[in-house]
């Protein structure tokens, strides 16, 4: 066990069998465990037979708790950061602590494991070579639609977290802003009621609107089609350039060759032909 080290430890997102051996070992060895909710994490540690000194580290006490944790690290102690479920810092507190530790040259070591976004993506059947994880979309409709418009410009699969009571409205906005695409709603992963609802946005919306969808949710939506700029043929380009004698035949041929990539002589012959046919 290295002293003065901050360990970022992933914990299960439901199924306790997803706890890693390494996570159990390191949690048992560190001097302090910083947890999002100490009562919640106490159950996890107890399940694995770990009894450890704990402190809370959550959204609203990050600043002052962060300083206390950094002090421990400065004194050469080792600290493990865990969140309620999954990987700390992924839509969970931790980033500021990591940033500050890195700035002070304190080693920060990840102990990987469950992460809902990655678990959902891996079973989605959607392209995974390029994806954007964008956390929770804004809860207000106007902001959510603007957010989705920005997301529409990005290539790759879009992965979002969403609260169950907002699922339907978010899917409706997706249909409106991103159009009809393949979508996967991954619910309660690794738990008893695990479910992956797949289909077009309208199909999934129909399923979702039939009953109350409960539990924890990841929404994944396939990438939009790449829209290639429409390219004009050589003849169409020449016609546009020669319309109303805006350019001389020679200049129009030169420009058309540049635009379409054909040789100047080919463009010139085509321009002559067009003039003769006119
Ligand atoms: N840090 C966590 C991770 O690595 O996945 C995410 C924390 S974020 C506060 C909680 C959100 O993650 C939930 O609202 C839900 O969108 C998603 N999530 C967490 N566990 C899940 C599960 N078992 N199935 C589906 N989504 C889950």
| pLDDT tens, residue by residue, 44-68 | 999 999 999 999 998 888 788 899 9
Q: Is the CB of 117 under 6 A from ligand 1?
A: yes
Confidence of residue 226 (pLDDT cuts 50, 70, 90): low
Structural domain containing residue 49? 6-114
The tokens for 228 are: 């290639």
How far is the C-alpha of 19 from the C-alpha of 10, rounded, in Å?
8
Residues 102 and 136 in one domain: no
Q: Is 229 within a domain?
A: no
pLDDT of residue 243: 79
Q: Is 126 within a domain?
A: yes
Q: Is the CB of 213 under 6 A from ligand 1?
A: no
Residue 261 has pLDDT above 70, yes or no: yes
Q: Is 33 within a domain?
A: yes
SS3 132: strand
Residues 158 and 191 in one domain: yes
Residues 139 and 63 in one domain: no
Tell me the per-residue pLDDT of 134-176, one tens digit each, with 9 for 90 and over. Answer: 999 999 999 999 999 999 989 999 999 999 999 999 999 999 9
Confidence of residue 1 (pLDDT cuts 50, 70, 90): low
Which of 221, 248, 269 finishes a domain? 221
What is the average pLDDT value for the chain, to the nearest integer? 93
Q: Is 1 within a domain?
A: no
Q: Is 164 within a domain?
A: yes
Counting every residue written for the chain, the total comes to 278
Residues 101 and 191 in one domain: no
Ligand 1: centre distance to CA 217 (Å): 7
pLDDT of residue 230: 61
Residues 36 and 60 in one domain: yes
Residues 18 and 100 in one domain: yes
Residue 229 has pLDDT above 90, yes or no: no
User: CATH no. for residue 147?
Assistant: 3.30.950.10
Residues 184 and 207 in one domain: yes
Which of 176, 193, 221 finishes a domain? 221
pLDDT of residue 242: 85
Number of domains in the chain: 3
- 6-9 and 195-200 beta bridge pairing: unpaired
Q: Whose CA is nearest to atom 8 of ligand 1?
A: 91
Q: Is the CB of 173 under 6 A from ligand 1?
A: no
pLDDT of residue 164: 97
How far is the C-alpha of 252 from the C-alpha of 240, rounded, in Å?
9
Tell me the per-residue pLDDT of 78-94, one tens digit each, with 9 for 90 and over. Answer: 999 999 999 999 999 99
Q: What is the 3-state secondary structure (H, E, C) of 229-270?
A: CCCCCHHHHHHHHHHHHCCCHHHHHHHHHHHHCCCHHHHHHH
Query: How big, in percent rounded to 5, are the helix, strand and coil portions of the chain?
Result: 45, 15, 35
């Amino acid at each position: 066990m290295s002293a003065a080290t901050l360990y970022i430890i992933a914990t299960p997102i439901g199924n306790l069998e997803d706890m890693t051996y390494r996570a159990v070992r390191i949690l048992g060895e560190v001097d302090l465990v910083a947890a999002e909710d100490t009562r919640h994490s106490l159950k996890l540690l107890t399940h694995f037979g770990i009894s450890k000194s704990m402190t809370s580290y959550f959204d609203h006490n990050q600043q002052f708790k962060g300083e206390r944790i950094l002090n421990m690290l400065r004194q050469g102690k080792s600290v493990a950061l865990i969140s309620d479920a999954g990987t700390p810092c992924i839509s969970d507190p931790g980033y500021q602590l990591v940033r500050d530790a890195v700035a002070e040259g304190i080693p920060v070591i990840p102990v990987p494991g469950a992460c809902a976004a990655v678990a959902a993506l891996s079973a989605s059947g959607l392209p995974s070579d390029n994806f954007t994880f964008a956390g929770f979309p804004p809860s207000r409709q106007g902001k959510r639609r603007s957010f989705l418009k920005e997301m529409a410009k990005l290539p790759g699969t879009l992965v979002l977290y969403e609260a169950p009571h907002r699922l339907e409205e978010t899917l409706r906005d997706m249909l409106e802003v991103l159009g009809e695409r393949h979508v996967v709603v991954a619910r309660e992963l690794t738990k008893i009621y695990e479910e992956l609802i797949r289909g077009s946005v309208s199909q999934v919306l129909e399923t979702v609107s039939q009953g109350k969808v409960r539990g924890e949710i990841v929404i994944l939506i396939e990438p939009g089609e790449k829209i290639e700029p429409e390219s004009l043929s050589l003849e169409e380009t020449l016609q546009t350039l020669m319309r109303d004698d805006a350019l001389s035949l020679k200049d129009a041929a030169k420009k058309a060759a540049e635009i379409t990539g054909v040789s100047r002589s080919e463009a010139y012959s085509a321009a002559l032909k067009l003039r003769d046919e006119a």
